[in-house]
Amino acid sequence: MGILVFMLSIFIGCGGSSDDSDDELLKAPTNLEIEAIIKGVDASNPNGDGSGEVQFIFSAQNAKLYKLSLGNGEIIESTASSINYTYTGSGIQNFDIYISAYNGAKYISKSISITVKINSGLVWSDEFNTDGAPNSSNWTYDLGAGGWGNNEAQTYTKESSNVIVEGGLLKITAKADGNGGYTSTRLKSQGLKSFKYGRVDVRAKLPASQGTWPAIWMLGDSFSTVGWPRCGEIDIMEQTGGDKETTLGTLHWWNTAGSNNASYGTTTAVANSTSEFHIYSLEWNENSLKIHVDDVEFFAMNNSADLPFNDKFFMILNIAMGGSLGGNIPNDFSQSTMEIDYVRVYQ
């Protein structure tokens, strides 16, 4: 009888050990962590390279399953500790991410927010990787003097002293000509490349000298038939000659009701615009036009059917001298350069 009781106690002890294991399996997860790594993030691309690719890395103690709500209506389950996901769409988008770590019916949750740059598809670019004159398949020129409607002081040329591609950069240089005048370049894609809607990115470093008026802008293809401002003008980036720590974004069009030039513009601070590269961007569709510097929006205006911003537009890159925005040119002005790393159009 004593032996039988001893054997029963051993059996009960083993069963107790199994119950402890079940309790361990049913513990609620703890210490949930999640990290989002957006592809291509750097100083010039704070919200990524436009691919929309994000790696999510997560962990929690006692977790057997993770569920991620990705902020766009999609939910993914994973037993691994990371997933790679590509967001689609266009522009700079914000996503609220919710993650839950499960152990059976018990769970713990956490949330983070991310901002991702998404370019739906690159349709054209010039990376300026071939030294010499700008690619004639992409660019032509406005040439000559005459003030260009703004009392500007330069004569536009296509000479290599004013425009050249070298070292992966397009360089437009405004120069004193030694006779009291100035030369520069106005490069345009008119008749070669034009676009309706999408996103335009131009990575550029601006000229440092007072008196220079750099611009990255667009005119409607109808310019040659209806003229300005009926064709519409989109100024992605302009900078005055007197303030090299600010850039402007502006739209111009013809106000039919008032029979006058209409415009709307705003400014943003870019303290190191002449010493560092920044990305000047336009997001444009049938509903709105938005302008960013380094993916930070500072300009927005509604689009509508009665405005000219529903047609194709071509690109213009130039430095003017003096005039209505360039202002006074220093007596000792010698030369100053705008460098452009790339022009990219996404749709």
User: Would residue 19 be called left, alpha or beta, if left means φ above 0 and alpha means ψ between -120 and 50 degrees?
Assistant: alpha
What gap in Å lies between CA 264 and CA 262, rounded to an integer? Answer: 7
**Element spanning 262, H or E:** strand 260-269
Q: Running DSSP on this structure, what letter comes out for residue 45?
A: B
What gap in Å lies between CA 314 and CA 217, rounded to an integer? Answer: 8
Catalytic residue among 152, 233, 283, 339: 233
Catalytic residue among 24, 74, 166, 238: 238
Give the number of residues written for the chain: 347
Name the residue among 257, 272, 239 with its Cα closest to residue 307.
Answer: 257
What gap in Å lies between CA 54 and CA 44, rounded to an integer? Answer: 18
Give me the half-sphere count of Cα atoms (radius 13 Å) on the Cβ side of residue 310: 9
Residue 24 known to be catalytic: no
Q: Take residue 23 and report the two structure tokens written for it.
A: 């309790």
DSSP reduced 3-state for 79 = coil
103 neighbors 62 (Cβ within 8 angstroms): yes
Residue type, 305: A
Residue 238 known to be catalytic: yes
Residue type, 147: G
Q: Running DSSP on this structure, what letter comes out for residue 154?
A: E
**Range list of β-strands (E), 91-242:** 91-103, 106-118, 122-126, 140-142, 154-156, 163-166, 169-176, 182-184, 186-188, 194-195, 198-205, 212-220, 233-238
In sequence order, what are the residues at sequence separation of 6 or more whose Cβ sits closer than 8 angstroms to the Cβ of residue 245?
269, 270, 271, 273
Residue type, 65: L
- What pairing do the DSSP bridges indicate for beta strands 182-184 and 30-38? unpaired
Residues recognised as catalytic? 233, 238
